[in-house]
Structure 1
Protein backbone atom coordinates (compact mmCIF):
# COMPACT_ATOMS: atom_id res chain seq x y z
CA UNK A 1 0.00 0.00 0.00
CA UNK A 2 1.27 3.49 -0.86
CA UNK A 3 2.34 5.39 2.24
CA UNK A 4 1.55 8.88 1.00
CA UNK A 5 -1.27 10.46 -0.95
CA UNK A 6 -0.83 13.66 -2.95
CA UNK A 7 -3.37 16.32 -1.96
CA UNK A 8 -4.22 18.93 -4.59
CA UNK A 9 -6.03 22.18 -3.96
CA UNK A 10 -9.28 22.79 -5.86
CA UNK A 11 -7.10 24.57 -8.46
CA UNK A 12 -5.00 21.38 -8.92
CA UNK A 13 -2.01 22.97 -7.16
CA UNK A 14 -0.11 20.46 -4.99
CA UNK A 15 -0.62 21.17 -1.30
CA UNK A 16 0.95 18.32 0.59
CA UNK A 17 1.46 14.63 1.04
CA UNK A 18 -0.75 12.95 3.63
CA UNK A 19 -1.17 9.43 4.94
CA UNK A 20 -3.69 7.08 3.33
CA UNK A 21 -5.71 7.24 6.54
CA UNK A 22 -5.96 11.06 6.41
CA UNK A 23 -6.88 10.94 2.71
CA UNK A 24 -9.71 8.49 3.42
CA UNK A 25 -11.05 10.73 6.17
CA UNK A 26 -11.10 13.67 3.74
CA UNK A 27 -12.87 11.54 1.14
CA UNK A 28 -15.47 10.14 3.53
CA UNK A 29 -16.25 13.61 4.89
CA UNK A 30 -16.66 14.74 1.26
CA UNK A 31 -13.98 17.40 1.66
CA UNK A 32 -12.00 15.86 -1.20
CA UNK A 33 -12.58 13.82 -4.31
CA UNK A 34 -10.58 10.87 -5.53
CA UNK A 35 -8.67 11.54 -8.76
CA UNK A 36 -6.40 8.51 -8.91
CA UNK A 37 -6.23 5.26 -7.00
CA UNK A 38 -4.37 1.96 -6.88
CA UNK A 39 -5.88 -1.38 -7.77
CA UNK A 40 -5.84 -2.32 -4.07
CA UNK A 41 -9.09 -2.02 -2.18
CA UNK A 42 -9.82 -1.06 1.41
CA UNK A 43 -12.77 -2.82 2.99
CA UNK A 44 -14.94 -2.00 5.96
CA UNK A 45 -18.13 -3.64 7.19
CA UNK A 46 -20.25 -1.17 5.20
CA UNK A 47 -18.20 -0.20 2.12
CA UNK A 48 -15.16 -0.78 -0.04
CA UNK A 49 -12.99 1.81 -1.71
CA UNK A 50 -9.74 1.90 -3.67
CA UNK A 51 -6.55 3.03 -1.97
CA UNK A 52 -6.11 6.69 -2.96
CA UNK A 53 -3.03 8.02 -4.74
CA UNK A 54 -4.18 11.55 -5.64
CA UNK A 55 -7.08 13.48 -4.13
CA UNK A 56 -8.34 17.00 -4.80
CA UNK A 57 -9.97 19.25 -2.23
CA UNK A 58 -13.53 20.24 -3.11
CA UNK A 59 -13.13 23.82 -1.88
CA UNK A 60 -10.13 26.04 -2.54
CA UNK A 61 -7.89 26.46 0.50
CA UNK A 62 -5.97 29.71 0.64
CA UNK A 63 -2.63 29.22 2.29
CA UNK A 64 -0.03 31.80 3.23
CA UNK A 65 3.35 31.56 1.54
CA UNK A 66 5.14 28.78 3.38
CA UNK A 67 8.87 29.05 3.86
CA UNK A 68 10.85 25.89 4.26
CA UNK A 69 13.67 25.87 6.82
CA UNK A 70 17.12 25.21 5.38
CA UNK A 71 17.75 21.81 6.95
CA UNK A 72 20.34 19.24 5.87
CA UNK A 73 17.61 16.99 4.44
CA UNK A 74 15.91 19.83 2.55
CA UNK A 75 19.20 21.11 1.06
CA UNK A 76 20.12 17.63 -0.12
CA UNK A 77 16.64 17.12 -1.57
CA UNK A 78 16.86 20.44 -3.45
CA UNK A 79 20.29 19.48 -4.82
CA UNK A 80 19.13 15.96 -5.76
CA UNK A 81 21.77 14.35 -3.51
CA UNK A 82 24.49 15.53 -5.90
CA UNK A 83 27.72 17.37 -5.12
CA UNK A 84 27.30 20.91 -6.44
CA UNK A 85 31.06 21.19 -7.11
CA UNK A 86 32.00 17.98 -8.96
CA UNK A 87 28.58 16.59 -9.86
CA UNK A 88 29.20 13.26 -8.15
CA UNK A 89 26.32 11.45 -6.38
CA UNK A 90 28.10 9.26 -3.80
CA UNK A 91 25.04 8.62 -1.61
CA UNK A 92 23.65 10.36 1.44
CA UNK A 93 26.27 9.10 3.88
CA UNK A 94 29.15 10.56 1.83
CA UNK A 95 27.53 13.96 1.33
CA UNK A 96 27.81 17.04 3.50
CA UNK A 97 26.22 20.46 3.51
CA UNK A 98 28.73 23.18 2.64
CA UNK A 99 28.53 26.91 3.27
CA UNK A 100 29.53 28.57 -0.03
CA UNK A 101 30.83 31.58 1.90
CA UNK A 102 32.20 29.97 5.08
CA UNK A 103 30.61 30.93 8.39
CA UNK A 104 34.08 31.97 9.58
CA UNK A 105 34.03 34.57 6.78
CA UNK A 106 30.59 35.92 7.66
CA UNK A 107 28.54 33.57 5.50
CA UNK A 108 24.95 32.96 6.53
CA UNK A 109 23.17 29.70 7.21
CA UNK A 110 20.47 30.32 4.60
CA UNK A 111 19.30 28.70 1.38
CA UNK A 112 21.40 31.00 -0.83
CA UNK A 113 24.61 30.01 0.97
CA UNK A 114 24.14 26.24 1.42
CA UNK A 115 24.91 23.50 -1.10
CA UNK A 116 25.38 19.75 -1.06
CA UNK A 117 29.02 18.69 -1.39
CA UNK A 118 30.79 15.36 -1.36
CA UNK A 119 33.25 14.86 1.48
CA UNK A 120 36.25 15.19 -0.87
CA UNK A 121 35.12 18.56 -2.32
CA UNK A 122 34.12 19.91 1.09
CA UNK A 123 37.55 19.07 2.51
CA UNK A 124 39.31 20.52 -0.54
CA UNK A 125 37.36 23.79 -0.24
CA UNK A 126 37.75 24.00 3.53
CA UNK A 127 37.27 27.55 4.84
CA UNK A 128 37.90 29.16 1.45
CA UNK A 129 35.40 30.62 -0.98
CA UNK A 130 34.88 28.58 -4.17
CA UNK A 131 36.93 31.13 -6.16
CA UNK A 132 39.86 30.93 -3.73
CA UNK A 133 39.75 27.11 -3.87
CA UNK A 134 39.59 27.11 -7.69
CA UNK A 135 36.17 25.46 -7.65
CA UNK A 136 32.91 26.48 -9.26
CA UNK A 137 29.30 25.70 -8.44
CA UNK A 138 27.26 23.74 -10.95
CA UNK A 139 24.14 25.66 -9.96
CA UNK A 140 23.58 28.78 -7.90
CA UNK A 141 21.90 27.92 -4.57
CA UNK A 142 18.30 29.13 -4.18
CA UNK A 143 15.36 28.85 -1.82
CA UNK A 144 12.92 26.26 -3.18
CA UNK A 145 9.19 26.64 -2.82
CA UNK A 146 7.28 24.44 -0.43
CA UNK A 147 5.42 22.86 -3.36
CA UNK A 148 8.70 22.04 -5.12
CA UNK A 149 10.03 20.23 -2.08
CA UNK A 150 6.74 18.32 -1.66
CA UNK A 151 7.03 17.12 -5.24
CA UNK A 152 10.76 16.39 -4.97
CA UNK A 153 10.18 14.31 -1.85
CA UNK A 154 7.88 11.93 -3.74
CA UNK A 155 8.78 11.49 -7.43
CA UNK A 156 5.82 9.15 -7.99
CA UNK A 157 3.39 11.81 -6.74
CA UNK A 158 5.20 14.42 -8.82
CA UNK A 159 4.80 12.33 -11.97
CA UNK A 160 1.10 11.79 -11.29
CA UNK A 161 0.56 15.49 -10.67
CA UNK A 162 2.39 16.36 -13.89
CA UNK A 163 0.22 13.90 -15.83
CA UNK A 164 -2.91 15.45 -14.34
CA UNK A 165 -1.83 19.00 -15.11
CA UNK A 166 -0.55 18.25 -18.62
CA UNK A 167 -3.75 16.39 -19.47
CA UNK A 168 -6.89 18.38 -19.95
CA UNK A 169 -8.56 19.09 -16.61
CA UNK A 170 -11.93 18.79 -18.31
CA UNK A 171 -11.23 15.12 -19.02
CA UNK A 172 -10.29 14.35 -15.41
CA UNK A 173 -13.27 12.71 -13.80
CA UNK A 174 -13.30 12.05 -10.06
CA UNK A 175 -13.70 8.42 -9.09
CA UNK A 176 -16.90 7.96 -7.06
CA UNK A 177 -16.45 6.46 -3.61
CA UNK A 178 -17.17 2.75 -3.72
CA UNK A 179 -16.23 2.47 -7.43
CA UNK A 180 -13.18 0.67 -8.69
CA UNK A 181 -10.58 2.75 -10.58
Structure 2
Protein backbone atom coordinates (compact mmCIF):
# COMPACT_ATOMS: atom_id res chain seq x y z
CA UNK A 1 0.00 0.00 0.00
CA UNK A 2 1.46 3.36 -0.99
CA UNK A 3 -0.36 5.49 1.58
CA UNK A 4 -3.64 6.77 2.92
CA UNK A 5 -5.46 9.38 0.84
CA UNK A 6 -6.52 12.47 2.79
CA UNK A 7 -9.60 14.33 1.53
CA UNK A 8 -10.72 17.82 2.42
CA UNK A 9 -14.27 18.24 3.72
CA UNK A 10 -15.42 18.97 0.15
CA UNK A 11 -13.97 15.58 -0.90
CA UNK A 12 -11.05 17.03 -2.88
CA UNK A 13 -7.85 15.04 -2.48
CA UNK A 14 -5.18 16.93 -0.54
CA UNK A 15 -2.30 14.45 -0.25
CA UNK A 16 -1.34 11.03 1.03
CA UNK A 17 0.07 10.08 4.41
CA UNK A 18 1.51 6.93 5.92
CA UNK A 19 -0.70 4.56 7.89
CA UNK A 20 0.90 5.54 11.24
CA UNK A 21 0.32 9.23 10.42
CA UNK A 22 -3.30 8.44 9.52
CA UNK A 23 -3.82 6.67 12.86
CA UNK A 24 -2.40 9.73 14.68
CA UNK A 25 -4.88 11.91 12.75
CA UNK A 26 -7.72 9.65 13.92
CA UNK A 27 -6.50 9.76 17.53
CA UNK A 28 -6.32 13.59 17.40
CA UNK A 29 -9.83 13.53 15.86
CA UNK A 30 -8.87 15.75 12.91
CA UNK A 31 -10.11 13.16 10.39
CA UNK A 32 -12.64 10.37 10.03
CA UNK A 33 -12.39 7.13 8.09
CA UNK A 34 -14.09 7.14 4.70
CA UNK A 35 -12.77 3.78 3.51
CA UNK A 36 -10.83 1.09 5.36
CA UNK A 37 -9.67 -2.49 5.26
CA UNK A 38 -12.38 -4.03 7.41
CA UNK A 39 -10.52 -7.25 8.21
CA UNK A 40 -7.38 -5.51 9.53
CA UNK A 41 -7.16 -3.48 12.74
CA UNK A 42 -4.57 -1.25 14.39
CA UNK A 43 -5.72 -1.06 17.98
CA UNK A 44 -9.39 0.02 17.92
CA UNK A 45 -9.11 1.42 14.36
CA UNK A 46 -9.50 -0.41 11.06
CA UNK A 47 -6.53 0.15 8.71
CA UNK A 48 -7.60 3.27 6.77
CA UNK A 49 -7.40 3.66 2.99
CA UNK A 50 -9.12 7.06 2.76
CA UNK A 51 -9.58 9.74 5.44
CA UNK A 52 -11.70 12.88 5.33
CA UNK A 53 -10.75 15.91 7.40
CA UNK A 54 -13.24 17.18 9.98
CA UNK A 55 -12.53 20.86 9.20
CA UNK A 56 -12.02 22.47 5.83
CA UNK A 57 -8.42 23.37 4.95
CA UNK A 58 -7.93 26.31 2.58
CA UNK A 59 -5.27 25.52 0.01
CA UNK A 60 -5.60 28.38 -2.46
CA UNK A 61 -2.91 30.42 -0.70
CA UNK A 62 -0.35 27.72 -1.46
CA UNK A 63 -0.83 28.06 -5.20
CA UNK A 64 -1.74 31.74 -5.56
CA UNK A 65 1.82 32.88 -6.33
CA UNK A 66 4.48 31.32 -8.48
CA UNK A 67 7.20 29.38 -6.72
CA UNK A 68 10.26 31.36 -5.64
CA UNK A 69 13.26 30.97 -7.93
CA UNK A 70 15.96 28.55 -6.78
CA UNK A 71 18.82 26.70 -8.40
CA UNK A 72 17.30 23.39 -7.29
CA UNK A 73 13.97 24.45 -8.80
CA UNK A 74 15.57 25.24 -12.18
CA UNK A 75 17.32 21.86 -12.21
CA UNK A 76 14.04 20.10 -11.40
CA UNK A 77 12.08 22.13 -13.97
CA UNK A 78 14.60 21.21 -16.68
CA UNK A 79 14.93 17.59 -15.48
CA UNK A 80 18.71 18.06 -15.03
CA UNK A 81 19.01 18.25 -18.83
CA UNK A 82 21.30 20.80 -20.50
CA UNK A 83 19.28 23.38 -22.43
CA UNK A 84 21.98 23.51 -25.13
CA UNK A 85 23.14 19.95 -25.86
CA UNK A 86 20.65 17.70 -24.02
CA UNK A 87 23.26 16.00 -21.82
CA UNK A 88 22.97 15.73 -18.02
CA UNK A 89 23.36 19.16 -16.46
CA UNK A 90 24.32 20.20 -12.94
CA UNK A 91 24.81 23.97 -13.26
CA UNK A 92 22.64 26.99 -13.91
CA UNK A 93 23.26 29.27 -16.88
CA UNK A 94 21.92 32.81 -17.20
CA UNK A 95 20.60 33.65 -20.68
CA UNK A 96 21.41 37.32 -20.06
CA UNK A 97 24.67 36.94 -18.11
CA UNK A 98 24.87 38.35 -14.60
CA UNK A 99 27.80 40.49 -15.75
CA UNK A 100 25.33 42.24 -18.09
CA UNK A 101 22.60 42.68 -15.50
CA UNK A 102 20.89 39.30 -15.84
CA UNK A 103 19.04 38.25 -12.73
CA UNK A 104 18.07 35.00 -11.06
CA UNK A 105 14.60 34.54 -12.57
CA UNK A 106 12.76 31.57 -14.01
CA UNK A 107 12.80 33.08 -17.50
CA UNK A 108 16.51 34.02 -17.44
CA UNK A 109 18.00 30.74 -16.18
CA UNK A 110 18.31 27.24 -17.62
CA UNK A 111 20.07 24.04 -16.65
CA UNK A 112 23.42 23.53 -18.38
CA UNK A 113 26.25 21.03 -18.39
CA UNK A 114 29.74 22.26 -17.43
CA UNK A 115 31.18 22.27 -20.99
CA UNK A 116 28.25 24.24 -22.44
CA UNK A 117 28.26 26.67 -19.53
CA UNK A 118 32.00 27.34 -20.04
CA UNK A 119 31.62 27.61 -23.83
CA UNK A 120 28.80 30.16 -23.59
CA UNK A 121 30.69 32.12 -20.92
CA UNK A 122 29.39 35.69 -20.46
CA UNK A 123 27.56 35.92 -23.79
CA UNK A 124 23.92 35.49 -24.73
CA UNK A 125 22.98 32.22 -26.48
CA UNK A 126 22.67 34.09 -29.81
CA UNK A 127 26.14 35.65 -29.46
CA UNK A 128 27.63 32.26 -28.57
CA UNK A 129 25.83 30.50 -31.45
CA UNK A 130 24.16 28.13 -29.00
CA UNK A 131 20.40 27.87 -29.60
CA UNK A 132 18.18 26.67 -26.77
CA UNK A 133 16.49 23.29 -27.15
CA UNK A 134 13.49 24.59 -25.15
CA UNK A 135 12.52 28.02 -23.89
CA UNK A 136 12.59 28.58 -20.12
CA UNK A 137 9.24 28.98 -18.39
CA UNK A 138 7.80 29.58 -14.97
CA UNK A 139 7.10 26.13 -13.47
CA UNK A 140 4.10 25.02 -11.46
CA UNK A 141 4.35 24.20 -7.78
CA UNK A 142 4.30 20.45 -8.33
CA UNK A 143 7.30 20.58 -10.64
CA UNK A 144 9.59 22.20 -8.08
CA UNK A 145 8.08 20.77 -4.91
CA UNK A 146 10.28 18.56 -2.75
CA UNK A 147 7.30 16.32 -1.95
CA UNK A 148 6.83 14.77 -5.40
State TM-score, norm by structure 1: 0.59
Q: CA RMSD in A?
A: 3.6
Q: Please point out which of 100, 107, 123 is paired with 1:128.
A: 123
Query: Deviations for 1:95-145, whole angstroms, at most 9, x for unmatched residues?
Result: 101111111011011111111001111011111110011001111111112
Structure 1 position 68, deviation (Å): 1.6
The answer for unaligned runs of 5 or more in structure 2 is: none
State TM-score, norm by structure 2: 0.69
Structure 1 position 31, deviation (Å): 3.6
The verdict on how the C-alpha distance between 1:105 and 1:66 changes in structure 2, with shifts beyond 3 A counting, is same
Residue 82 of structure 1 pairs with residue 81 of structure 2: yes
Look up the SS of the partner of 1:116 in the other structure: strand
The answer for unaligned runs of 5 or more in structure 1 is: 155-181
Which one has more relative contact order, counting CA pairs under 8 Å at least 6 apart?
1
**In the alignment, what sits opposite 2:72?**
73
Structure 1 runs of 4+ with >3 Å offset:
4-13, 21-35, 54-60, 147-150
Cα distance in 2 between the residues matched to 1:148 and 1:124 = 29
Q: Is the 8 A contact 1:66 1:146 kept in 2?
A: no
Query: How many pairs were matched up?
Result: 141
The verdict on how the C-alpha distance between 1:106 and 1:22 changes in structure 2, with shifts beyond 3 A counting, is farther
Cα distance in 2 between the residues matched to 1:114 and 1:140 = 10
Q: Is the 8 A contact 1:99 1:114 kept in 2?
A: yes
Q: Please point out which of 45, 58, 61 is paired with 2:58.
A: 61
The verdict on how the C-alpha distance between 1:31 and 1:81 changes in structure 2, with shifts beyond 3 A counting, is same
Indicate the structure (1 or 2) with the bigger Cα radius of gyration: 2
